[in-house]
Amino acid sequence: MYKIVRKQMLNPSVVLMEINAPYIAKKAKAGQFIIFRIDEKGERIPLTIADYDRENGTVTIIYQIAGKSTMQLSELNEGDTILDFAGPLGVPTHFEEGIKKAAVIGGGVGCAIAYPQAKALHEKGVSVDVIAGFRNKDIVILEDEFKAVSDRLIITTDDGSYGKKGFVTDALKELIDSGTKYDVVVAIGPVPMMKFVSELTRGYGIKTIVSLNPIMIDGTGMCGGCRVTVGGQVKYACVDGPDFDGHLVDFDELARRNSTYADKEKQEKEHYCRLMGGIRNA
């Protein structure tokens, strides 16, 4: 059993939890993830290792309350336990030697996945610009954490309620056009955002790493659930990724596959909300 040692709401729908998992904390590297299961009947849900503390033996996860399982997890509190917490899974992010300047771009809760990458680059002595994009001011997360690991932090909001008005791609284009030379761009967020960042950087010939979020089940390369096409080849994001070269990813296929169970997921969420509403009102 894995104990929740800290819980913090980062905004009304994003939760940070620190979980006691010393073996994972000992081995975790940026870019890797865990798969949790709340109880014996629970779904297996992948979440990125947002941070870890090797000394205290804890792993930090940051997640959006998206549907039934993340909702169930968010209802647990400090001191409660989770049945399974398996990891570290996936290939750690590989940054080539000699990188001097990087742009790390996060979209929404993708910022939780982008943060460990920005931190890893910063710790390697790379100069890091972070562009973090959100729909509006109310859902901005990790501002202080990003400030601590970047040379320049630009926050964008779609409606202009905080930071710079516009999309992360606008801010990135502006930086590149004003003469900033990036050796690598890391883009993590919704599939369309990763696609448009990759299309932009392709024009400038800047290497771009994305972290893919296909539906995962076993996390060991056996079930085929997380199949993606990269450079015309079949890859399994859980064992070959989740990081890939953004210029080679078939984003349209990923978006199609991710929406396969949308109706079922919606039904499950509604059923769970009704059930919980009933229990609370009883």
Ligand X SMILES: Cc1cc2nc3c(=O)[nH]c(=O)nc-3n(C[C@H](O)[C@H](O)[C@H](O)COP(=O)(O)OP(=O)(O)OC[C@H]3O[C@@H](n4cnc5c(N)ncnc54)[C@H](O)[C@@H]3O)c2cc1C
Q: How many residues bind ligand X (CB under 6 A)?
A: 26
Do the beta carbons of residue 32 and residue 92 sit within 8 Å? Answer: yes
> Rounded to the nearest whole angstrom, what is the least distance from the CB of residue 182 to ligand X in the complex?
24
Do the beta carbons of residue 135 and residue 167 sit within 8 Å? Answer: no
- Cα 57 from Cα 24, distance rounded (Å): 8
**Residue 34 touches which member of ligand FES, ligand X, none, C-beta under 5-8 Å by kind:** none
Does position 48 bind ligand X by CB under 6 A?
A: yes
Does position 99 bind ligand FES by CB under 6 A?
A: no
> Rounded to the nearest whole angstrom, what is the least distance from the CB of residue 255 to ligand FES in the complex?
18
**Residue 224 touches which member of ligand X, ligand FES, none, C-beta under 5-8 Å by kind:** ligand FES
**Residue 20 touches which member of ligand X, ligand FES, none, C-beta under 5-8 Å by kind:** none
- Cα 37 from Cα 33, distance rounded (Å): 14
Determine which residue in the list 20, 58, 60, 70 makes contact with ligand X, applying CB under 6 A. 70
Return the DSSP state at 261. Answer: T
Does position 63 bind ligand X by CB under 6 A?
A: yes
Question: DSSP letter string over 58-123?
Answer: EEEEEEE--SHHHHHHHT--TT-EESEEEEEESPPP---TT--EEEEEEETTHHHHHHHHHHHHHH
The residue (of 189 and 241) whose beta carbon lies closer to ligand FES is 241
Q: How many residues bind ligand FES (CB under 6 A)?
A: 12
> Rounded to the nearest whole angstrom, what is the least distance from the CB of residue 242 to ligand X in the complex?
4
**Residue 223 touches which member of ligand FES, ligand X, none, C-beta under 5-8 Å by kind:** ligand FES
- 211-230 residues near ligand FES, rule: CB under 6 A: 216-219, 221-226
Does position 91 bind ligand FES by CB under 6 A?
A: no
- 201-260 residues near ligand X, rule: CB under 6 A: 213-216, 242, 258
Q: Give just the sign of the alpha carbon dihedral 191, 194, 195, 196.
A: positive
Determine which residue in the list 47, 186, 200, 230 makes contact with ligand X, applying CB under 6 A. 47
**Residue 157 touches which member of ligand FES, ligand X, none, C-beta under 5-8 Å by kind:** none
- Which residues are 216's β-sheet partners? none
| Cα angle, residue 158 at apex, residues 157 and 164 outer, rounded to 5° | 40
Strands annotated E in the chain: 2-11, 14-20, 33-37, 45-48, 51-53, 58-64, 81-82, 84-89, 101-107, 127-134, 152-157, 164-165, 184-188, 207-211, 227-230, 233-236, 243-245
Binding site for ligand X (CB under 6 A): 33, 43, 45-48, 62-64, 66-70, 109, 112-113, 213-216, 242, 258, 262, 265, 269
